[in-house]
Structure 1
Amino acid sequence: SDVYNFPPEIKADKENFPLSLIGYDNEQKMIFTKLVGDNDVDQLISEIFENENNVEYLHARNSEACCFICKIERI
């Protein structure tokens, strides 16, 4: 129900949900990647959007299985 933060269950389970954030520009080209690791994913998302002006949106993926989890858009 909280669309502005990552689900706490996924954030807490870094072993089963190792996350990567992949940034895309306005032409849908991949221009940025970052492993979340031990970082807080919500804080990292804010930092990416603050510092990477060309990133229009992010995809969150499972780093091991490469499964798509969600799209994250600037607000």
Structure 2
Amino acid sequence: MSGVIAKSTITCPQCGHQSTDEMPTDACQWFYDCKGCGAVLKPKPGDCCVYCSYGDVKCPPIQAGRACCG
């Protein structure tokens, strides 16, 4: 997956906390615990994972032009 960005900064829609994390390349991440307020983030309807919904970079499969696991 050459040229794929592996890190994304998630912004919590509830408290605005931002956290930069390494994205999994072989699985979707459907839940994410906000490190600021503890809210459990889930993908928005139509998105495959929390990185596609709340991250500044889409997940690796989407970047590579493939379908994600969702």
Alignment TM class, shorter chain as reference: 0.3 to 0.5
The TM-score, its normalising length taken from structure 1, stands at 0.35
The TM-score, its normalising length taken from structure 2, stands at 0.36
* Bigger fraction of residues in helix: 1
* Bigger fraction of residues in strand: 1
